[in-house]
Chain A
């Protein structure tokens, strides 16, 4: 069998509504390895391509808990074990005074988890990606909307998928070389 040189087939649309409708139809037709590209976030789009759960909130929660624990334990350990200083007979473990730094560390770790977790889950930074080989794709960051079916999808066939995409009435269809 000849090895396919195509990364996928990409259809271009004019409006967010067209893209969401097309993405939904593609998913209904049984294609699973698909993706859609838009110049701004479209809430319905990720559901239309069958992407329902993302791990970002969990990562942030774990980051926040770690920050909270490390903030408090750091202060407790310093104030009671490593460097105890008696200030006017107050207890070494002076919990109320530790609230502020614990809070700030919680926020800091959660923020770092949100930013770097989001980037890592998205696989960024990724300087090269085959979709950038399509010249029209430069408009994906301006005013055009793209749908791609990857050639790794079991239902993919360069002729069948192309005619399916044509049935969605896109503005144009391009092959994405791998």
Chain B
């Protein structure tokens, strides 16, 4: 592997970490964001705004509890409206965090060390947003625990042949694993914060969370083994989660859902939208917290390349869907294609193609890959496109199936929008809190990137 800290002038590759840093400067720079930096007006404004939007979410959920899912636009034939669209969208976003923290760790891509921490936080908050939707969509959300197998007086058990039950297991395992992986990664940094904090309350709180970590060589050895094994376990897990999400569709017989391309195409789409969200978070974070030394042009470029690659896989998925609509000779599959292109939702389908296939091709241009503003905009476009993709898969497939007599239209209500926008607020509010309370970049993994971290042969 090439030295990650080396500036390769010939290829013009930016370094992973700007030169001139030492163990102490890395520690001080990252921990000062949490420990000494005063609360800025920008942070207060951003957090206040997202907190307000979170209140909208709580209001929408409260009203849902009182009135039931009838406040949403869902009805037969479109029983899965925004709730499932948003579920799939959010959980897909989460996947990039696990990809960065686990898969890139196994592949020894050390550039990931400066973005894995907040990408993992993003995963946890995105999964939290995702998890809300299927539960709210249950109709009687307060009985959500019925989804889990537990001995009960009704002598009832979940139906394990149903992909919806598989999803419960996949998503709850994923949420648990992501949270634990994130926390294990935080332990040494919490110890750093404990030792750096001046304020007694901070010392006690970080001290409790660090659990007495002291950096002993024996501890590090077990820690590294456990961390590597967690990465190895999280890798098949993350691929399985969106696969199982796609089974929710693919196991059904609805035209547009019943296809074998779904698992790989869903996983690629998940990573695609996840990296877009990573960039939408990384670009403002590095700007406002002055972290350009740690989140360099290299990270932006690499993320852009991942988006380009996964975007092409997604484009291939769309191509195969369209091809199979024609090639299968199945009239319902061909009608689905015709309906996407000419039906009442054709504007959504064409916007999806524009957002996910057409505009992202601009990423071939090196100048765009190195421009933070350009990447920010293209990431927003991709995130919109991926949301539209899920809308097209859920709504357009359901609204016209086998019998004309059962056709219908889906109109989202203000409560659908309030819940969706509310989760965006919840997500950003969590990110704002995370950046102030915990180190947004892994301090100990950044230290290992420095040349002096190498043990020289005697």
Contact = CB atoms under 8 A, between A and B. Distances in A.
Interface of A: 15-17, 20-21, 23, 35-46, 48-49, 51, 54-57, 60, 74-75, 78-79, 82-83, 85, 87, 90, 94, 97-98, 100-101, 103-105, 107-108, 110-112, 114-115, 117-119, 121-122, 124-129, 131-132, 137-143
A42 B455 contact: yes
Given A107-B177, A108-B176, A118-B222, A125 B240 contact: no
B201 interface: no
Interface string B416-458: 0000000000000000000000000000110110001111101
Contact of B170 (A15, A38, A74, A100): A100
A117 B236 contact: no
Nearest to A48: B217
A57 B165 CA distance: 30
B222 to A, nearest CB: 5
A44 B180 CA distance: 27
A56 B220 contact: no
Interface in B220-234: 220-226, 229-230, 233-234
Given A115-B230, A124-B212, A101 B455 contact: no
Please tell me the size bucket of the interface on B.
Answer: 35 or more
B220 A101 contact: no
Nearest to A54: B222
A34 to B, nearest CB: 9
Given A17-B455, A114-B233, A118-B225, 4 more contacts: A39-B215, A82-B155, A101-B169, A104-B173
B229 A101 contact: no
Contacts of B176: 108, 111-112
Interface string B172-215: 01001100110110001001101110000000000110011111
B184 A115 contact: yes
B244 A100 contact: yes
A98 B184 contact: no
A140 B196 CA distance: 11
B217 A83 contact: no
Interface in B148-176: 149, 155-161, 163, 165-166, 169-170, 173, 176
A36 B207 CA distance: 21
A107 B173 CA distance: 8
B205 to A, nearest CB: 13
A15 B158 CA distance: 57
A100 B455 contact: no
A140 to B, nearest CB: 5
10 contacts: A16-B452, A42-B455, A43-B455, A45-B217, A98-B160, A111-B176, A118-B184, A127-B207, A132-B214, A138-B196
Contacts of B161: 79, 87, 90, 94, 97
Interface stretch (B20-28, B316-324, B326-334, B406-414): B20-28
Contacts of A108: 173, 176-177
Contacts of A97: 160-161
A38 B215 contact: yes
A142 B166 CA distance: 44
Contacts of B220: 38, 40-42, 45-46
